[in-house]
Structure 1
Amino acid sequence: MNWDRDGLDWPNRQSSGFVQAAGLRWHVQRMGRGPVLLLLHGTGSATHSWRDLMPLLASEYHVVAPDLPGHGFSDPAPFEARSLPGMARAVASLLQTLDLQAECIGGHSAGAAIGVQMALSSLATPRGLVLMGAALLPFKGLAGYCAAPLARLIARSAAPRWAALRAGRDHNVQRLIDATGSRIDPRGVAAYRTLLRSPEHIEGALALMGGWDLAPLTATLPRLQSPTLWLHGANDRTVPETQAIELAKRIPQAQLRRLAGLGHLAHEEQPELHARLILEFLHGVSRSPANPAERSGAEAEATRQ
């Protein structure tokens, strides 16, 4: 995607910049001052996903939101770096280049998996994790067996250009958004339309999907030490609520909040609600000792709703 053509009306354009890190040119948005809050979008999305939530969080945090490799205006990652650990290392390299340490990490869908992987791999030591519509489980059955190889095959073929021609049509863009269970504003729809008309973006999303193996991540969730707020839309048609309930139980310090009437893009539907819940959570963890062993039993005990 071309920034001077496709990015002219990009949400929060005034906060955008480009950074060379991990051998890639990244599009990064930054705003606000204070502790660093890293936001990682999901597969097929980009920084526009945070268009309304990011300014609200920037009232108290230095918010950093990159386009993940192969998405939006960032370069694609080389094939060997498209695994989940590879993506986590690339994001960690970006932070190192920016000379920043993420005190908190927020991730949506696949971005949540990257944030969790960074914490589990000690690539970051966040005092708090915020997972939004987190996609942490592989597909089950035949779909799970076929999804990654199929995505890799499509990403290497001419299919992304065909997919962009179809997906970028107005009615198909709206249909794809509706399939998430969410209803978002026209600015968001327009940004997704721009992304879905880009074969490079579609190829990047498919490549990311094709390079992931989530089974090792879910197996190690009980080792996650960071206090975690899990926000999940009750109307999420992408990640079933039953998955959120099951996985939150595996994380020692997880709070699961069910958001009635919202879908997979819940943070885009109600950014004010998300900002309030996230800031309340982060206020709590900022008052807690950084070392989990120093927390009282009440602080360390998981809270689930």
Structure 2
Amino acid sequence: MNLTAAWKVPVEEGDIHIQAYGMNHDVPVMLLHGTATYHYCWRSVAAQLASQYRVYCPDLLGYGVSDKPRTVLYSKQAQAKRIQAVIEALDCEAVHLVGHSMGGEIAAHIALQSPHLLRSLTLVAPDGFRRGVASPVKWAARKGWMDGIFRGAMNRKMKPTTLARMLSLPLEHITPEFMDRWTKPYQDPNTPFVIAKTLADDDTGIIAHRISEIHVPTLLIYGTIDKMIPMQVFRQYEQTVPNLCTELYDDSGHVLMEECPDRLAASIQSFIVRCCP
């Protein structure tokens, strides 16, 4: 039985939405989404993990159904502190943490800041070693100019071909329901501001010099045809994190939870069993 629930957890700067699966189980797993998406991207993986685990899928502050305050930092370090507060509020001692893309770098921050909150760490196509947003873009975002650019772009109805290209998915994957659910966050009038503010506050790569300090049991998963995160980032993690387990998915891209949810869920579950038999 997969018992689901949804609620909001208050943190210092707003309320964070939680979508949960497998509420009848005890062992907690938390899945963190990446940029410009929300908990929906984890639906297939979460449903499979929920056969054995209690699965929490939070919307990062500013994303999905969570609050979107305009006066806070949207850096990865700030987001990590909020997720730490959520884990503590859930009163589950420690979680198996999984992060995708930006969520992976946020998860790495948590592993460094509060390793006692984690039972294991799974990084799916994470960032963390690249340089951040180019200075002119960050400067324009801080001036407030990018907000208008994103607002204009989002006011135009997104086409299935655009979403397929953005997610590196085959066009047949983009069903009307998928299109509606994936683009839902873009319909929120505050979303353009949040994305622009995320660029303005970007701190990608600030933990690169500390990655070697991650001592939580860690699994790194990467698709060999990922067009978003270069293979160099995978190699840098591989060479830097001690006792790292790795899995390369041939012929897979960046959004692995959509491309191959069954395989990804199996990888996560197998690693959890290895960490906590």
Under a length normalisation based on structure 1, what TM-score does the superposition of the two structures give? 0.80
Measured against aligned partners, the alpha-carbon deviations of 1:56-102 in whole angstroms (never above 9, x if no partner) come to 11112111111111111111255443222211111111222232333
Offset at residue 175 of structure 1 (A) = 1.6
Q: Is this contact kept in 2: 1:245–1:256, CA < 8 A? A: no
Determine which of 87, 98, 114 is the counterpart of 1:122.
114
| Aligned residue number for residue 169 of structure 1 | 158
Q: Is this contact kept in 2: 1:36–1:101, CA < 8 A? A: no
Offset at residue 179 of structure 1 (A) = 3.5
Determine which of 86, 93, 96 is the counterpart of 2:88.
96
% identical equivalent positions: 23
Q: Is this contact kept in 1: 2:34–2:100, CA < 8 A? A: yes
In 2, Cα distance between the equivalents of 1:127 and 1:13? 23
* Counterpart residue type for residue 30 of structure 1: A
Offset at residue 124 of structure 1 (A) = 4.7
Q: Is this contact kept in 1: 2:4–2:20, CA < 8 A? A: no
| Aligned residue number for residue 236 of structure 1 | 226
Which structure 1 residue ranges, 5 or more long, are not aligned?
1-11, 288-305
Matched, 1:145 2:135: yes
Task: Indicate the SS of the match to 1:51.
Answer: helix
Under a length normalisation based on structure 2, what TM-score does the superposition of the two structures give? 0.88
1:58-77 alignment runs, 5 A limit: 58-77=50-69
Task: Indicate the SS of the match to 1:106.
Answer: strand
| Aligned residue number for residue 181 of structure 1 | 168
| Aligned residue number for residue 283 of structure 1 | 273
1:201-212 alignment runs, 5 A limit: 201-212=191-202
In 2, Cα distance between the equivalents of 1:87 and 1:124? 18
Which structure 2 residue ranges, 5 or more long, are not aligned?
none
In 1, Cα distance between the equivalents of 2:48 and 2:174? 17
* Counterpart residue type for residue 62 of structure 2: G
Q: Is this contact kept in 2: 1:54–1:63, CA < 8 A? A: yes
Measured against aligned partners, the alpha-carbon deviations of 1:114-137 in whole angstroms (never above 9, x if no partner) come to 111011012653121111111213
Q: CA RMSD in A?
A: 2.4
Measured against aligned partners, the alpha-carbon deviations of 1:249-273 in whole angstroms (never above 9, x if no partner) come to 1111222211112111111111110
Shift in alpha-carbon separation, 1:163–1:107, aligned structure 2, 3 A: same
Q: Is this contact kept in 1: 2:225–2:254, CA < 8 A? A: yes
Matched, 1:55 2:47: yes
Shift in alpha-carbon separation, 1:268–1:152, aligned structure 2, 3 A: farther
In 2, Cα distance between the equivalents of 1:122 and 1:149? 32
Determine which of 229, 237, 248 is the counterpart of 2:238.
248
Shift in alpha-carbon separation, 1:229–1:138, aligned structure 2, 3 A: same
Between 1:51-60 and 1:70-79, the stretch displaced more is 70-79
Between 1:101-110 and 1:183-192, the stretch displaced more is 183-192
Offset at residue 208 of structure 1 (A) = 2.2
* Counterpart residue type for residue 188 of structure 2: S
Measured against aligned partners, the alpha-carbon deviations of 1:225-257 in whole angstroms (never above 9, x if no partner) come to 012111111121111122212222111122221
| Aligned residue number for residue 111 of structure 1 | 103
Shift in alpha-carbon separation, 1:255–1:144, aligned structure 2, 3 A: farther
